[in-house]
């Protein structure tokens, strides 16, 4: 169902009214702070990501609401402390979007989304109070895989990249060879360092071939879970637990799972 602009604004106003009342009358809501909400925000964000992965539109709608609640809640806390309110949050976002999209709100011409990304990084470097360096905009708290991808994207947007995607495979092979040498030497610190370099090169390969490595890895995670669950259920059907099965028996069930498209 498509709602009018007035209906959307009314719904957002209703959310603000509901939160105002909760903040005043509910003991739990009243005692929340930015610090106490932060772990819940992380959890809600992951739940939204899970709903997106599952293409569950009802769940996406619900989880979007939960994430929106947190945005409004932080804004309310800021208002109470005399720092900012939800209007300032929205206006600051609008100002930033307008400033960073001169090809929409100004007279800059672009040729495709790739050029938009490159312009975006240059604009952020010029922005008042913006990032002082190209990589400063990558949050230090990101999970390592996501961080590697974002670092490489930002470096790419200022021209630090291979000319052709296939060139990355030489780097992947180089890092793999270095990893194998460290494994052969038994040097634990060297193995960890070279494993990191190898994974970083694979992330770069994924980026160059327009594959999001986080999505790709999660797809494999889900596939492994489905197949491993099938193996575990097969063991139970035979009256065994997994520790009682041989590797060959587990492999046979794994192949069954694959043959069934799991």
CA distance 173 to 167: 11
pLDDT tens for each residue of 214-234: 989 989 999 999 999 999 999
Contacts of residue 29, Cβ cutoff 8 Å, sequence gap at least 6: 19, 22, 23
By the 8 A CB rule, do 70 and 37 touch? Answer: yes
| pLDDT tens digits for range 95-136 | 989 988 888 887 777 777 777 766 766 676 666 556 678 888
Q: What pLDDT score was predicted for residue 126? A: 67
Contact 145, 213 (CB under 8 A): yes
Q: What's the CATH class of domain 5-100?
A: mainly alpha
Please give the share of the chain, as a percent, with pLDDT higher than 70: 94
At residue 109, the pLDDT reads 78
CA geometry: angle 87, 93, 94, nearest 5 deg: 90
Q: Supply the Cα-derived Rg of the chain in whole angstroms.
A: 25
Q: What is the pLDDT of residue 11?
A: 97
Q: The tokens 């090809």 sit on which residue?
A: 103
Q: Are 79 and 103 in contact (CB under 8 A)?
A: no
Domain covering 133-212: architecture: Orthogonal Bundle (1.10)
Q: Which two tokens stand for residue 22?
A: 């909760």
8 A C-beta contact, residue 48 and residue 66: yes
pTM here is 0.65
| pLDDT for 124 | 67
Nearest residue to 101 via CA among 119, 83, 85: 119
**Tell me, what's the pLDDT at 227?**
96
Distance CA 176, CA 198 (A): 6
Specify whether the CB–CB gap between 59 and 51 falls below 8 A. yes
pLDDT at 108: 76
DSSP 164: S
- From first CA to last CA, the distance across the chain in angstroms is 35
Residue 71's closest CA among 92, 101, 97?
Answer: 92
Report the pLDDT value the prediction gives residue 198, as an integer from 0 to 100.
98
Pair 143, 183: CB distance under 8 Å = no
Block means of pLDDT (10 residues each) for the chain, length 262 residues?
A: 92 97 96 95 92 93 97 97 97 91 80 70 64 81 91 89 94 97 96 97 96 92 94 91 91 94 90
**Nearest alpha-carbon partner for 191 in 138, 152, 199, 125:** 199
The full DSSP string for 100-161 is: H-HHHHSS---SSHHHHHHHHHHHHHHSTT--SSGGGGS-TTS-HHHHHHHHHHHHHHTT-S
């Amino acid at each position: 169902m498509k709602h009018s602009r007035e209906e959307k604004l009314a719904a957002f106003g209703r959310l603000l009214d509901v939160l105002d009342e909760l903040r005043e009358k509910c003991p739990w809501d009243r005692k929340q702070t930015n610090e106490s909400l932060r772990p819940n925000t992380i959890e809600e964000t992951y739940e939204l990501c899970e709903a997106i992965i599952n293409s569950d539109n009802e769940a996406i709608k619900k989880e979007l609401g939960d994430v929106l609640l947190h945005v409004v809640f932080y804004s309310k806390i800021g208002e109470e402390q005399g720092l900012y309110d939800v209007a300032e949050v929205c206006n600051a976002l609008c100002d930033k979007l307008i400033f960073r999209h001169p090809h929409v709100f100004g007279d800059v011409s672009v040729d495709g989304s790739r050029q938009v990304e490159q312009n975006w990084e240059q604009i952020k470097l010029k922005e008042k109070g913006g990032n002082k360096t190209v990589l400063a905009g990558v949050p230090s708290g990101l999970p390592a895989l996501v961080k590697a991808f974002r670092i490489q994207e930002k470096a790419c947007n200022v021209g630090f990249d291979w000319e052709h995607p296939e060139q990355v495979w030489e780097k992947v092979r180089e890092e793999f060879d270095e990893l194998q040498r460290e494994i052969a030497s038994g040097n634990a610190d060297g193995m960890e360092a070279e494993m990191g370099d190898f994974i970083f090169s694979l992330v770069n390969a994924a980026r160059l071939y327009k594959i999001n490595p986080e999505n790709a890895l999660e797809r494999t995670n889900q596939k492994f879970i489905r197949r491993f669950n099938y193996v575990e259920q097969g063991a139970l059907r035979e009256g065994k637990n997994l520790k009682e099965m041989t590797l060959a028996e587990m492999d046979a069930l794994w192949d069954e799972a694959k043959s069934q498209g799991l």
